[in-house]
Structure formats: C-alpha cells, structure tokens
C-alpha cells in the first residue's frame, strides 16, 4: 500500500493569485527514497508542507483534492498528530534547534509526547548513534558546526521513529564533505530501517545516486515521475532545465559519439568510471 | 583592487575568525573562496566593503584603508549580496526593494526606473515586480537580493553563496552574467560550496581553513587536487572524480571541463578502433 498518496491536490496560499501546486497526483511506496526536483518556485517545498499538514493547517489558504499520509487524511488531522508519522528537516538547522544540549534537543519531541523515561533514553541514544553525534551529546547545539547541527536536527526527527522523513534541501548551507556525510546518514536510515525518505534537491550531482523514484515538478505540476535513469536520459528533462549530473551528461555525449559504453545510464562518477574502464580493458 | 595585509579578526565573543590573511585581488579578477563551514570565508569578505574592520592588519580598497572610509561610501563601489536574502530584504514589493539603494545613491527617477526594469529582466523577476519579496520562494528571494545590488552597477561584486537554492537554469544565467561582468572588467568575489559551479566557471580559487588561506591557484589545479580539497572539506567535481579513477589508464588527472573530458575519451576510442 502507498504510504503517501495525493489525488488531484491543488493548493493556493492566502492572497496568491494562482495555485502553488496544481492537480498533483503522486504515489509513494513504503521504503522508497524519493527525490523531488524542479526549477525554483515550482512547488516542491509547498508539496512537502502538505505531507505533515503544515499546509493547510498552519499556512491556511485553499486546498482541493485528496491527500493520505501513513493512512491518515492530513486535511482532517492536526500537524502535531502527523509529527509521529512524518519528520521534517529544513534547509537551515539553526531554525530548528533551541535546547541547551544536543541530547535535550533530540529528546524534546519524545518528552512532549509523554514518552516513558526508559523508552526515551533508548530512543535518544539510538538516534544519536545513528547520526554519529553520540560523543558530543552534552554540548550546546549552538557551538557545533553546521554539519553537526543538521545531524542533530535529523536525530531529533528520527528519535520519534517516524515512518517518513521529509528533507527540504538539507545540505545547501554545508560544505561538500559535510553534505556527503549527511546524505550517507539519510541513505543508511532508508536502507537499514526502511524509513521512507522524501528529499527535495536541485543538486542531482550529489543526490541522484541515492534515489529509486524521481519526481520532476514545474510550475506547480508533476511533469515527470519514475526511474531516475530513464528520466535523466530523456530529452524533455534537459529542456526543462533540470541539472543533469555531469557523469550522466558525459555518458550521453560519449554514447552519441559511438563509444560502446554499457546500457545502464550512470548516476554517479563511480558508475561512469566503471563503464569507461570496462571499455578500455576489453580491448 | 582589494588588498588585505595580514589581517586578524576576532568577534566580540573572542572567537578569532581570521588569523593573518594576506591577499591581493586585482581589478577584473574572478575569485572563488571555498572551504569548510566556519573557515572564516564570510568574515573575510565582509572586510571588503568595510562591514567589518580588522582587529589588526589592513584592508585597502583601491589603495584606501577601509578604516578611513564609511560603509556607505564603500558600498557604491563594492556591492555585497548576502548568503541569506532575509538579512537584506525589507521592502513591500520587489520593485521598491530594487529601487531603494538607487534612490539612496541619488539616481534620477528615470534612471531608477530603467535600472529596476533592467535588473528585473536580467534575473527573470519581471512577473514579480509588484509582489512582496516575502511571498516568493527561497531561490527567488535570493535573486531579488542579487538584483537590488546589480541595479546600481558596482565596480566590485561580492556574492556570498549565490547558488544556494538556485536551479540549473538560474545557475547557468548567473554564470553567463558573471562572464559578461568579466568582459566589463568588473571584479567578482564569490564565497561558495558549489564545486560544480566553480568547475564550470573556472575562476581563481582560494581555499580557507580555520581562519587562514591554505591554497591559492587556478581552478583546474586546485579542484583536481584531492589532498588540498580534503583539507578544506571540499570534494572533487564529478568530472575530476571520473578522471581520478581513469588515471590508472594513463589519462591526466586535472580535467574539470566536460567537453575536454569528451575529447580525451573519444581519442582513446579512435585509438582502439584502429
């Protein structure tokens, strides 16, 4: 059964003249790693806000169509009820952190839900370990690096054991190495624990290799959806101005010129290098 | 010309963000400053328009020390686009936002009008002319901030993380714009984490770490040096990653350009088919 399903979802912010998402119908299966991309202002962030009910409960405005997340119709349920099922991680972790210690920040959501002390301890420790910040748990979230802060934000979300994590450009303020480490953490949560991941990103160079389900949005609508290797090979994707990873682009250019590379469109430099080396060694 | 001479800077909380930085940026240069979060990049460039004054050492803009001129006077020549557009935007419409500085600098109403229209058009914002900047997406707000600085046509442009939240097309426009500014001999300094963007623009690259400059050179050299990059928490651009692996087959390692990569790889195809 789909863990997220929208049918003809259309939403207009208060005072806006046209909808920010327009007739969106998507289906996400449990355990998928979904990547949502598209030109800036295409409705990616707004769609994510629907998944935990921030739209329409917090932002108000006018919503039409249907949306079910983890079996719940979000239109009839408060955002705080959705928090058990859907965790949200934003661009800038500073907006999300506030406690005196990392540990307290990670425990905050569970405390609010009235979780028993022993259970809470276990869940918090597990989340700290999974994100690699257990050793610094006593420190203040405001004296650590941006990359560590983003890990705290992710730990705080997974401590609640959500079925779904939604991350809206979670690494855009981070240096590339810290960004890569964050993506690795997210990827492991997805593969090892089966948490469904929805990642919003422009930079497919960094992220295409993780996904099995790519959604391309444009002007509020879903334009392309499916297997990333297929979508990133299509001419339409290029015309829409989606940033195709350099490795994928180079593969296409070489294929076009007749280099006999394999049929699997590469999504990373490793995949492309392997295919080229195969050609070079076979001679 | 921007010159810094052994500058140190400590924030009021005693954190020393710059520990002796000397750098000369000539007129018309395009420089990308890269490095780990907290390396002091933003602190450093805030010295270029006098927003920050060094605790010791000197910053000179066209030979004049920043301690001897006001931020307002410096701003006319050195435009600064902040990392977070929300630190910069405050007007009720995009149009007013862009016109604000122009009016402050005393441009004629007709010129203000022309410059606003030009900047809106350049950054694909014309449709939002009468919209509140706060109704726009993060990426769009970032473009409004950029437009409001470009509008007064400063001689030097400081761009702090200009590509954050920008899609491929906007980045491409930004790149073309920077190239155009280059032909007009404008100086451009950008702080960025975006290795792919830097690889495409191929500027002079400065790497910073813990308040110091640890590398300075042409993009192609620095961006293909894994040891230097790792020191600053940067990863190789994708094309350089491919060639790092292919070096076992006799390919050069210092390739960052996709067209150059294509030519090199196709040569081997011809070699093999002969």
**Residue A239 within a domain:** no
Terminal Cα-to-Cα distance of chain A (whole angstroms): 48
Residues of chain A with pLDDT under 50: none
Query: Best interface-test mutation with A: which of B82, B233, B270 has the largest number of A CBs within 10 A?
Result: B233
Name residue, tokens 């910053």.
B59
pLDDT classification of B270: cutoffs 50, 70, 90: low
Coil, strand or helix at B111: helix
* Alpha-carbon distance B11 to nearest alpha carbon in chain A (angstroms): 14
Do A218 and A262 have their domain in common?
no
Q: Where are the domains of chain B?
A: 2-236, 237-274
pLDDT (0 to 100) of residue A84: 85
Smallest CA–CA separation between A40 and chain B, in Å? 6
Query: Residues B145, B160: contact at Cβ < 8 Å?
Result: no
Say whether B262 and A246 touch across the interface (CB within 8 A).
no
Q: Look up the domain containing A48 and give its range.
A: 2-233
Q: Which of the four CATH numbers 1.10.1740.10, 3.40.50.360, 3.40.50.300, 3.30.70.270 does domain B2-236 have? A: 3.40.50.300
Residue A238 lies in a domain: no
Q: DSSP code of A162?
A: -
Q: Which chain A residues contact residue B265 at CB under 8 A?
A: 250, 254, 259, 276
Secondary structure (DSSP) of B131-194: S-GGGS-HHHHHHHHHHHHHTT--SEEEEESTTTT--HHHHHHHHHHHHHHHHTT-EEEEE---
Q: Is B67 exposed, middle or buried (0-12, 13-18, 19+ CB in 10 A)?
A: exposed
Residues A277 and A174 in one domain: no
Q: Examine the domain organization and report whether A43 and A168 are in the same domain.
A: yes
Percent of chain B predicted with pLDDT > 90:
66
Report d(CA A230, CA A81) in Å as an integer: 37
Assess whether A50 and A83 both reside in one domain. yes
Structure tokens at A14: 């208060």
Q: Are residues A223 and A249 in the same domain?
A: no
Q: What is the pLDDT of residue B274?
A: 47
The token duo for A166 is 């939604």
Helix (H, G, I), strand (E, B) or coil at A64: strand
For the complex shown, is ipTM > 0.90? no
Count Cβ atoms below 10 Å from residue B118 Cβ, excluding itself. Answer: 15
Contact B48, B240 (CB under 8 A): no
Which one has a higher pLDDT value, A230 or B268?
A230
State the pLDDT at residue A143: 79
pLDDT digits (tens, 9 = 90+) for A30-46: 999 999 999 878 899 99
Q: Indicate whether A156 and A32 sit together in one domain.
A: yes
Average pLDDT over residues B169-189: 88
The pLDDT value given to residue A242 = 87
Instruction: Decide if B170 and A39 are in contact by the 8 Å CB cutoff.
Output: yes
User: What's phi and psi for A65, nearest 5 deg?
Assistant: 95, -170
Q: What pLDDT was estimated at residue B269?
A: 64
The maximal CA–CA distance of chain A, rounded, in angstroms, is 66
Q: Percentage of chain B with pLDDT > 70?
A: 98
Confidence of residue B271 (pLDDT cuts 50, 70, 90): low
Mean pLDDT, residues B181-188 taken together:
90
pLDDT at B69: 87
């Amino acid at each position: 059964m789909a863990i997220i399903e929208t049918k003809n979802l259309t939403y207009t912010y208060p005072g806006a003249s046209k909808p920010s998402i327009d007739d969106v119908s998507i289906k996400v299966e449990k355990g998928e790693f979904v990547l949502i991309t598209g030109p800036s202002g295409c409705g990616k962030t707004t769609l994510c806000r629907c998944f935990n009910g921030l739209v329409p409960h917090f932002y108000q405005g006018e919503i039409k169509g249907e949306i079910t997340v983890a079996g719940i119709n979000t239109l009839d349920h408060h955002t705080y009820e959705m928090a058990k099922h859907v965790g949200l991680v934003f661009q800038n972790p500073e907006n999300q952190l506030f406690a005196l210690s990392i540990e307290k920040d990670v425990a905050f959501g569970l405390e609010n839900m009235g979780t028993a002390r022993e259970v809470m301890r276990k869940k918090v420790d597990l989340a700290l370990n999974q994100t690699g910040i257990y050793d610094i748990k006593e420190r203040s979230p405001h004296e650590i690096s941006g990359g560590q802060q983003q890990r705290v934000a992710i730990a705080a979300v997974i401590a609640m054991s959500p079925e779904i994590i939604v991350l809206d450009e979670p690494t855009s303020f981070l240096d590339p190495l810290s960004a890569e480490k964050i993506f690795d953490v997210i990827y492991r949560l997805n593969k090892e624990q089966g948490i469904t991941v929805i990642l919003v990103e422009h930079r497919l160079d960094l992220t295409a290799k993780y996904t099995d389900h790519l959604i391309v949005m444009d002007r509020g609508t879903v334009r392309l959806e499916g297997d990333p290797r297929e979508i990133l090979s299509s001419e339409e994707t290029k015309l829409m101005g989606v940033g195709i990873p350099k490795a994928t682009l180079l593969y296409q250019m070489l294929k076009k010129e007749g280099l006999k590379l394999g049929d699997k469109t590469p999504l990373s430099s490793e995949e492309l290098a392997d295919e080229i080396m195969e050609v070079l060694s076979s001679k | 010309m921007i010159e810094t001479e052994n500058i140190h800077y400590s924030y009021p909380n005693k954190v020393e963000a710059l520990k002796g930085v000397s750098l000369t940026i000539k007129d018309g240069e395009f420089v990308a400053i890269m490095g780990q979060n907290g390396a002091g990049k933003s602190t450093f460039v805030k010295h270029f328009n006098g927003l920050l004054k060094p605790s010791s050492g000197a910053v000179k803009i066209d030979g004049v020390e920043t301690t001897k001129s006001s931020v307002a006077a410096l701003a006319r020549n050195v435009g600064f686009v902040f990392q977070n557009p929300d630190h910069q935007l405050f007007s009720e419409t995009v149009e007013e936002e862009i016109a604000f500085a122009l009016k402050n600098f005393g441009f004629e109403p007709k010129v203000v009008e022309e410059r606003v229209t030009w900047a809106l058009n350049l950054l694909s914002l014309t449709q939002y002319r009468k919209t509140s900047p706060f109704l726009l997406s993060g990426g769009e707000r970032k473009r409004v901030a950029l437009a409001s600085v470009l509008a007064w046509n400063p001689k030097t442009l400081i761009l702090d993380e200009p590509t954050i939240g920008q899609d491929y097309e906007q980045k491409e426009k930004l790149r073309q714009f920077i190239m155009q500014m280059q032909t007009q001999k404008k100086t451009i300094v950008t702080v960025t984490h975006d290795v792919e963007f830097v690889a495409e623009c191929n500027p002079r690259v400065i790497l910073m770490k813990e308040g110091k400059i640890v590398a300075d050179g042409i993009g192609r050299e620095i961006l293909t040096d894994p040891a230097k990059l790792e020191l600053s928490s940067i990863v190789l651009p994708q094309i350089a990653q491919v060639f790092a692996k292919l070096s076992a087959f006799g390919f050069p390692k210092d390739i960052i350009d996709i067209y150059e990569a294509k030519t090199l790889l196709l040569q081997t195809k011809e070699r093999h088919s002969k």
